[in-house]
Structure 1
Amino acid sequence: MQPTAFLQALHATVRQLRATVETELTPLPDAVLNFKPRPDSWSVLECLEHLNRYCRYYHPALTKALAKPGASADDVRYSWLGRKSLDIVRPDNGQQHKTVKHMNPAGSQLSRAVLTEFLGHQAELLHLLTAARATDLNRRAVPVEFFRLLKLRTGETLEFVVRHEERHLQQAQRVAQLAQASAPVLAV
């Protein structure tokens, strides 16, 4: 895919994710936001805190990668690691995957500040996607969070962040629906 179309598609997805959080999740009562269908599953706030933790790592790494100028006229390409990473976080991939311990928010004391932080990260991500127009998306420049000797291409990383957010936002929506269906009292 051409870089311009690639970035426009990611930009549209992030705008939609942000709108979903603002319209569907932010209005929910705290009881719904903290509801867990099972003790070993995540609440809505834990899903978003997980994403916040990834943003805290990947946004500065992307900022650094995007500081190197050099637009690419080539289609966005994928390495083996990039394809594998994207396959794991694809929203339609129903397989569950364990997350690394420091990215797992289970058992954290969370408040609505998680929503505010997430929305701030989305504004920052939109800025990063705009800045990405002036860089080579095929440059290997972003260290993988859990093993920093490995690097993803800039474009792969941008897509990874967006697809990962799509996946966990869908998870958060499912949890919110379960909370409202299983205990109508929570929604009041």
Structure 2
Amino acid sequence: MESAVLIDDLQAQVRRIIATATTLKQLLPVDLDKAPAPGAWSVAQILAHLNFYGDYYLPALEKALAQAPPAKKYFKPGWLGNYFTKLISPNAAGEVRGKMKSPAQARPSSFVKAVDTLPVFIGQQQWLLELLEEARTKDLGSVRVPISIAKMIRLKAGDTFRFLIGHQQRHLLQLTRTLHQLQLN
């Protein structure tokens, strides 16, 4: 795939994520802190979960891009990157394959608050846009980023961007369902 086309697509997806997150500012924080059912995550918890991964992957991507050589016209995804991205991302119909259990360290506390998690999430999305812009000048296939759950497994930077954004899209669907269950949308 052409690197520029990939980056354009990923930036468009992040802008949609930012737009969705920005609409949450119109809701009462106390409502965003409510779980729709016992054992279910609140909007604040979903954002805290995504922030956990942003805290890991954004600095890792920044470090990888700093080491990357100049851009190549084409990016060839790796088989493992394709597998993980397909596994985590919603399909073309906007559906997820099934529930996945989050690692213990990525599970949010029930005490997190939207007033804390929402600004961090939006800030991380802005940073992600900046990293994608920087990625336009870098070879996304030449540097690798260790995945959060097994540092010895490393994905190409381009695949890491795809995986991270797919993961966010997955949880934004969860967030939308949560709002619907709470009758907030």
TM-score normalised by L of structure 1: 0.90
Aligned amino acid, residue 150 of structure 2: F
Structure 1 CA distance for aligned equivalents of residues 79 and 111 of structure 2: 34
- Partner SS state of residue 159, structure 1: helix
* Divergent runs of 4+, >3 A: none
Deviation at 1:116, TM superposition (A): 0.3
Q: Does 1:45 align with 2:48?
A: no
- How many angstroms apart in 1 are the aligned matches of 2:65 and 2:115? 31
Q: For 1:11-30, list aligned pairs within 5 A.
A: 11-23=11-23, 25-30=24-29
Shift of 1:149: 0.7
**Which residue pairs with 2:7 in the alignment?**
7
Structure 1, unpaired ranges of 5+: 182-186
CA deviation map 1:15-61 (0-9, x unaligned): 111011112x1211123212222222111111111100000000010
Q: Comparing 34-43 with 146-155, which one deviates more in the overlay?
A: 34-43
Give the distance between the partners of 1:113 and 1:106, measured in 2 at CA. 13
Structure 2: runs of 5+ lacking an equivalent: none
Report the identity percentage. Answer: 34
Tell me which of 142, 145, 151 is aligned to 1:139.
Answer: 142
The 5 A counterparts of 1:23-172 are 23=23, 25-91=24-90, 92-172=95-175
CA–CA distance in structure 2, aligned partners of residues 2 and 168 of structure 1: 27
Deviation at 1:112, TM superposition (A): 1.2
The Cα offsets for residues 108-131 of structure 1, whole Å up to 9 and x where unpaired, read as 332412000001001100000001
Following superposition, the deviation at residue 166 of structure 1 comes to 1.1
Tell me, in whole angstroms, the C-alpha distance in 1 between the residues paired with 2:52 and 2:80: 21
Alignment coverage as a number of residue pairs = 181
AA aligned to 1:156 is: D
1:35 touches 1:175 (CA, 8 Å); kept in 2? no
How far apart in 2 are the matches of 1:35 and 1:132? 38
- Change in Cα spacing, 1:22 to 1:35, as seen in structure 2 (3 Å) is same
Q: TM-score when scaled to structure 2?
A: 0.91
